[in-house]
Structure 1
Amino acid sequence: MAQYPQWSYSQSRANMFDECLRKYYYHYYGAHNGWKTDQADDMTVRLYRLKQLSNLYLVFGDLVHRMCESAVRSRDEGRERPRVPFLEQTMRKLLNEAYLQSMDAEQWRQDPKNRVMLSEMYYGDDTLQERIGTIKERITACVNSLYDTLTWEDLARASTQILEIEKWDTMMLHDTRVYVKMDLLYRRGNGNIVIVDWKTGKEEDFSDQLLLYAAYVREHYRVPLEQIELRVEYLLNGTYKQYAATQEDLARAEEKVGRYIEEMKSCVADEYYNRPKDISFFTPMPSRRACRDCNFREVCSERVM
């Protein structure tokens, strides 16, 4: 087995790097090989299990993306689109299954990668019932928004060609493999390619992520930036934002990725093997917001209560 994880970059990795260096270490280095329960030490196995913890908001976000994927694939395969009541009922059923799985901690410990354990239940958080109520309301809102989106209006046209649905891919930037996964990519009748990002929460700035997607699409599909449309669909409130990237935008985004890569590589003792420096180098950055939902609070003595 590889002693250290393979080096790569993603927007989610950059987000965690900004949030807390200790969490970044646990997630990307400390947990590596923790699935090898017969070979790894106890702490590595423990960190790997904690890395697999989910939470209600993550489960909800995943269910919404699966709902959108199911509806889009039905359209792509010429089938009737799933009815709204069916989508809502299915999401509630899967949310309940996640809750029930989380009640069996021993089964989760045996197979943490393939079973769900909600961090709210694992840590006995008092926010559990309140969050369940919030998620149930959001399910209804998101399901009812899907078929009213600008994206679905495009998909209803016969001239729209679906190119990618929830597909992982990579591109090279600064000699680094960069991972991208677009929720939906399609070509409109006018030849423009539309990148769609489904969001289930409040409106935020996702421009860095979208610009990386635009760079990938330009390179992979050999189209000029003028033919690439970036769109965020906020399903919770039924709104959207649309962007048009310029060459200057992409240059700034790629430069920013380069700075992240440089900073991340400053945390490794050996770039060839991606061997990290000592854990003490990864300074904890405690805050009430970050520590409240951190998967690794069980092992971190620096957490804020």
Structure 2
Amino acid sequence: MFEVQPYPELSWSLSRHKTLLTCVRKYAYDYYVSHNGWLRDADSLARQTYRLKKITNLEMYFGSIVHDLIYQIIQQVLQNKQIPTEEKVVTEIRHHLNRGFIEATRKEHLWNNRPKHYTMLHEIYYSQTNELPVGKVQKITDRLNTTVKNFFASQSFADVLNKQDMQFIESEKFRYMKIAGVKIFVVMDLLYKDLEQNKWVIVDWKTGKSSEEDRNQLALYALYLQQKYKIQDLNDIIIRNEYLLEGTHVEHQLTEQDLLNVQNLYQISMEQMKSYLEEPEKNKPKPIPQFPMQENPNICARCNYQELCFPSSAT
């Protein structure tokens, strides 16, 4: 039975680590102040913070739509259902983008009450206009057909179509492993075993450009897979990034050093996270003023919490 707790459970993920590095105050809002903000009787700050946490931006919204549709298409293949055409997928993505725009511009009152179930775009919320930046709209429009075309032509989708030689594992759900009692969350886009090669394959779909963080993300996935399925040889794990914008894929052969690096990253990151706790055994955070704010105005301009940090300038 679900029981309301005054403080969240301490956990770790690469996204949580990245948030801490980006802005400690944002980290506090994301993981502590917003806690229980979905409850009807939550205090006004928790509800406001939770609502702001749910704001997305056009690029992230596009990426989430693409990921969701890819998951659905793969499930259709595995269930021997009819596969949609590229044109139909493009049309479906446009439909979702338009729906999100309508929700952000015409249904803010619904989003205010149920922010998890409605879309609010950062570009709309903080501009207080009903128009998206023309440049951003053009960028997403340019990406749309390219991304869908490259997905259908990708190596990983070819593997899905060749499903008789693959053993698919339900991948896109919350999985975790534990280190020293702390849950480390891992969310993989696609996971399967190539029965012919006798190798595990982890796929991560990317709708943006490659980054230096990709390797650590993949190493974390490999560490989870190694522990979960007792895999002794890292050569039995193929890690693949599918860059849908560029139409390329990159496979990595990770080493034990890669796994050690991500474990060291976790330990250093966790020590820093715990330094902001007033009562570590309860995961009770220190008062919000002890979480320093970001001083880079460019980062602040993209943040969901502008109205909390700069209430006088937020419109």
Do residues 216 (structure 1) and 218 (structure 2) align? no
Q: 2: CA distance between counterparts of 1:59 and 1:28?
A: 21
Which of residues 246, 253, 277 in structure 2 aligns to 1:244?
253
| Residues 231 and 185 (structure 1), Cα distance of their counterparts in 2 relative to 1, 3 Å cut | same
Stretches of structure 2 lacking an aligned partner (at least 5 in a row): none
Q: 1: CA distance between counterparts of 2:133 and 2:279?
A: 42
Letter of the 1:245 partner, please give it: L
Q: 2: CA distance between counterparts of 1:24 and 1:95?
A: 28
Pairwise mapping of residues 1-305 of structure 1 onto structure 2 (< 5 A)? 1-38=4-41, 40-103=42-105, 104-124=107-127, 128-157=133-162, 158-188=164-194, 189-205=196-212, 206-224=214-232, 225-301=234-310
Once the two structures are overlaid, the 10-residue window that deviates more, 161-170 or 50-59, is 161-170
Q: 2: CA distance between counterparts of 1:221 and 1:95?
A: 39
Matched residue of 2:87: which SS?
A: helix
Q: Percent identity?
A: 33
Matched residue of 1:48: which SS?
A: helix
Spell out structure 1 runs of 4+ moving beyond 4 A. Answer: 302-305
Letter of the 1:3 partner, please give it: P
Q: 1: CA distance between counterparts of 2:132 and 2:24?
A: 26
Once the two structures are overlaid, the 10-residue window that deviates more, 241-250 or 293-302, is 293-302
Q: 1: CA distance between counterparts of 2:26 and 2:271?
A: 19
Q: 2: CA distance between counterparts of 1:56 and 1:15?
A: 20
User: Offset of 1:302 from its aligned partner?
Assistant: 9.8
Q: 1: CA distance between counterparts of 2:165 and 2:43?
A: 56
* Residues 267, 277 of structure 1: 8 Å contact kept: yes
Matched residue of 1:53: which SS?
A: coil
* Residues 287, 304 of structure 1: 8 Å contact kept: no
Letter of the 1:11 partner, please give it: L
C-alpha offsets along residues 242-299 of structure 1, whole Å, 9 cap, x if unaligned? Answer: 1011112101211111110111011101111100011121111232332121000111
C-alpha offsets along residues 119-175 of structure 1, whole Å, 9 cap, x if unaligned? Answer: 111111776332122112211110010121111222232312211331211101243
Letter of the 2:151 partner, please give it: L
User: Offset of 1:60 from its aligned partner?
Assistant: 0.4
User: Offset of 1:303 from its aligned partner?
Assistant: 11
User: Offset of 1:34 from its aligned partner?
Assistant: 1.4
C-alpha offsets along residues 193-241 of structure 1, whole Å, 9 cap, x if unaligned? Answer: 0100000111212111111100111111222311001110000110111
Matched residue of 2:98: which SS?
A: helix
Q: 2: CA distance between counterparts of 1:269 and 1:42?
A: 23
* Residues 210, 230 of structure 1: 8 Å contact kept: yes
C-alpha root-mean-square deviation of aligned residues, in Å?
Answer: 1.8
Matched residue of 1:258: which SS?
A: helix
User: Offset of 1:19 from its aligned partner?
Assistant: 0.2
* Residues 287, 303 of structure 1: 8 Å contact kept: no
* Residues 124, 132 of structure 2: 8 Å contact kept: no
Matched residue of 2:282: which SS?
A: coil
* Residues 231, 240 of structure 1: 8 Å contact kept: yes
Letter of the 1:180 partner, please give it: V
* Residues 216, 258 of structure 2: 8 Å contact kept: no
| TM-score, normalised by the number of residues in structure 1 | 0.95
Q: 2: CA distance between counterparts of 1:251 and 1:100?
A: 46
Q: 2: CA distance between counterparts of 1:247 and 1:303?
A: 51
